[in-house]
């Protein structure tokens, strides 16, 4: 037996993926008697005129049977005399590409179907690129529906040429192209007399024999720590699944990113004490001394994963909202979860040609190459070396939806070479010298709500109390520091980022910073909060839009309602109300002085030392 083979079936919609696998299971007698009876009964009311519809073995959802397409990934386990298999039958429709990517991430081999009557389509190319992206090195192209082209040899040869041209762009270890008829069973489990010109193996025969085993390019030991186990004060173990290499008692390991070292004192494989353990095993490792190790850290030996906060990655974008530069996400790599920013979209990959194309934003199902920055240094590696430390998922921090999956292409050395330079004159020294606690007071609200007025009056009140301040107003900053930025989403995100970074530096100088920006989106305010830290104080000026329009001295609301100003907050673009502001104030209900009194009362404990 050649061991377990995990493979995926993919390709364009209605290429016959579910039918192919269903026929394979049926012909190889790999289904139970009651399944066979149910299949034959269900097929009588299907679209095949009473003939067996083999796709019903895998398309189990009601919506799948009604539409005649695969929507979700269907996993099947089966065994022949020569091998065990786990097959992921994935959807072909572009709308469900993310489901296909999930199935591909667990596969060793891809079976990509091509309709003989249509040839290689755009979705066929997209699926091939995704399979290559997630590290699949073994490909089988099943040219299906040969019965519809009268088993034409020349038609197959033409499609075979298209496939070889497509695959010339990828790095793969094996490629097999097989003509089949999923409905009739030709070349599915065994060869028939319909295509005597084809001299290769049938599909199942090939899958039983192909060697899809992979050797990790990284020989050293790596394990991402999933959990710290401490049942009592005498034991502290680090649990996780070994990604690469092996580990033995007495070996010296390094904890990343701290780079502290210790020796292995004890190894438990489940509940058994062992001398050593190999890749794929879930183990608990105890060290001979206490070092800095927590969930997300990586234990390593005889290898050097990168430790940094910047890398270039290839991403498959899955979200309905486009990817734009400067937006923040939660990045998951190994067992690490960390805030990250897409700093730059370097290019997107043209699905048809494979060319790198300039792009300012990336839309659903597109593949892009991006530079990503994280808030702290983590351990990672190129995907070609280590699949665990080189594969990543990005999650929207507001909706918690998975936005992208991808792989690390290479580290950006500037992220590894930069080190924060500590200074003798610290923020605390400056705060003591000024007699105040530095912070950033972030005013947010609709245009005309009174943000700038309140910020200006609050600064005057603080100055009168002997405080040292700096006021950053939205319009003023755009006339100088941010004059090169427009009002597109990428510019808006960068505008807020720069303001937050400037505010943080001014806080380091010991100053109390006041900012007045609409900052309508929670994600932007959350990013500012993370940059500034615990010194961020959010004040929501909740004046109703009706009152804001009455105060519209610039005529902005009127122009927006006439369609002259696109994406105007409150009219054609939403304002996301803060969830937990430190202070909420409505200037239509209080005078300016009353508003400042309310704010000062709330801030008193924070600002007074």
Return d(Cα 302, Cα 310) in angstroms, integer.
Answer: 23
Q: Which residues are 9's β-sheet partners?
A: 89, 111
3-state secondary structure of 64: helix
Measured CA distances, 201 to 15, 186, 189, 206, 207 (Å):
21, 11, 9, 6, 9
Helix (H, G, I), strand (E, B) or coil at 193: helix
Half-sphere exposure at residue 245, Cβ-oriented, CA atoms within 13 angstroms:
20
The residues annotated as belonging to the active site are 519
- Residue 455: which of 506, 508, 518 has the closest Cα? 518
Which of helix, strand or coil describes residue 492?
helix
Enclosing H/E stretch for 208? helix 203-209
Other C-beta atoms lying within 10 Å of the C-beta of residue 63: 10
Residues 326, 166: Cα–Cα separation, whole Å: 33
DSSP three-state, residue 62? helix
Tokens 């301040």 found at: 469
Gap between the Cα atoms of 582 and 606, Å rounded: 11
* Residue 12: closest CA among 136, 113, 130: 113
Contacts of 135 (CB under 8 A, 6+ apart): 383, 387, 391, 407
Among the listed residues 348, 326, 321, 335, the one whose alpha carbon sits nearest the alpha carbon of residue 402: 321
Q: Report yes or no: 512 and 441 within 8 Å, Cβ to Cβ.
A: yes
210: nearest Cα among 121, 339, 102, 82: 82
Q: Which of 288, 264, 260 is nearest to 274 (CA)?
A: 264
What stretches of 474-561 show up as alpha helix (H) in DSSP? 474-478, 489-508, 522-532, 545-550, 556-561
CA torsion through residues 504, 509, 511, 515, sign: negative
Phi then psi for residue 319, to 5 deg, are -85, 150
> Per DSSP, what are the bridge partners of residue 235?
232
Is the Cβ–Cβ distance between 288 and 337 less than 8 Å?
A: no
DSSP 121-185: -HHHHHHHHHHHHTT--EEEEEEE-GGGGTT-HHHHHHHHHHHHHHHTTS--SEEEEEE-BTTTT
Q: Which of 377, 28, 63, 47 is nearest to 208 (CA)?
A: 28
CB 11 within 8 A of CB 20: no
Q: Give the integer Cα–Cα distance in Å for 370 and 362.
A: 10
Radius of gyration of the chain (CA): 30
**DSSP annotation string for 589-603:** TS-HHHHHHHHHHHH
């Amino acid at each position: 037996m050649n061991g377990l083979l995990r493979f995926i079936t993919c390709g364009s919609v209605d290429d016959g993926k579910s039918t192919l696998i269903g026929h394979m299971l049926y012909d190889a007698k790999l289904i139970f008697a009651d399944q066979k009876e149910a299949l034959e009964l269900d097929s009588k009311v299907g679209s095949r005129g009473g003939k067996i519809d083999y796709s019903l073995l895998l398309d189990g959802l009601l919506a799948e049977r009604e539409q005649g397409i695969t929507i979700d990934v269907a996993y099947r386990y089966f065994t022949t005399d020569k091998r065990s298999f786990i097959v992921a039958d994935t959807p072909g429709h572009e709308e469900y590409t993310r489901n296909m990517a999930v199935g591909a991430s667990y596969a060793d081999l891809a079976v990509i179907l091509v309709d003989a009557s249509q040839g290689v389509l755009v979705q066929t190319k997209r699926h091939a690129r995704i399979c290559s992206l997630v590290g699949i090195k073994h490909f089988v192209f099943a040219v299906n529906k040969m019965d519809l082209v009268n088993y034409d040899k020349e038609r197959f040869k033409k499609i075979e040429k298209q496939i070889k041209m497509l695959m010339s762009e990828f790095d793969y270890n094996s490629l097999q192209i097989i003509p089949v008829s999923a409905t009739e069973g030709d070349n599915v489990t065994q060869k028939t007399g319909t295509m005597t010109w084809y001299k290769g193996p049938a599909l199942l025969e090939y899958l039983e024999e192909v060697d899809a085993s992979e050797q990790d390019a990284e020989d050293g030991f790596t394990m991402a720590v999933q959990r710290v186990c401490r049942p009592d004060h005498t034991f502290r173990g680090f649990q996780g699944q070994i990604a690469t290499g092996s580990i033995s008692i007495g070996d010296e390991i390094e904890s990343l990113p701290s780079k502290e070292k210790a020796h292995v004192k004890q190894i438990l494989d489940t509940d058994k004490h062992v001398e050593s353990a190999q890749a794929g095993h879930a183990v608990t490792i105890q060290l001979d001394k206490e070092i800095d190790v927590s969930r997300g850290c990586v234990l390593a030996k005889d290898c050097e994963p990168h430790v940094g906060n910047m890398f270039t990655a290839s991403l498959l974008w899955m979200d309905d909202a486009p990817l734009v530069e400067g937006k923040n996400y939660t990045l998951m790599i190994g067992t690490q979860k960390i805030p990250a920013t897409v700093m730059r979209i370097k290019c997107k990959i043209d699905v048809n040609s494979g060319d790198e194309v300039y792009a300012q934003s990336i839309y659903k199902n597109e593949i892009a190459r991006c530079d990503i920055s994280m808030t702290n240094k983590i351990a990672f590696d190129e995907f070609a070396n280590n699949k665990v430390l080189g594969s990543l998922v990005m999650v929207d921090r507001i909706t918690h939806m998975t936005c992208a999956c991808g792989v690390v292409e290479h580290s950006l050395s500037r992220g590894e070479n930069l080190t924060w330079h500590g200074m003798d004159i610290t923020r605390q020294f400056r705060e003591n010298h000024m007699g105040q606690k530095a912070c950033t007071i972030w005013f947010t609200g609709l245009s005309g709500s009174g943000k700038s007025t309140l910020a200006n009056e609050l600064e005057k009140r603080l100055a009168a109390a002997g405080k040292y301040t700096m006021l950053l107003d939205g319009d003023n900053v755009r006339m100088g520091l941010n004059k090169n930025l427009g009002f597109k989403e990428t510019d808006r995100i960068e505008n807020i980022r720069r303001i937050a970074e400037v505010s943080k530096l001014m806080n380091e100088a010991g100053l109390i910073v006041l900012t007045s920006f609409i900052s309508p989106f929670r994600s932007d305010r959350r990013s500012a909060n993370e940059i500034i830290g615990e010194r961020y104080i959010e004040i929501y000026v909740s004046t109703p839009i009706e009152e804001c329009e009455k105060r519209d001295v610039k005529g902005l609301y009127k122009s927006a309602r006439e369609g002259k100003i696109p994406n105007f907050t409150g009219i054609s673009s939403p304002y996301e109300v803060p969830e937990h502001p430190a202070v909420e104030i409505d200037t239509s209900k209080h005078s300016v002085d009353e508003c400042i009194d309310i704010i000062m009362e709330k801030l008193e404990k924070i600002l007074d030392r």
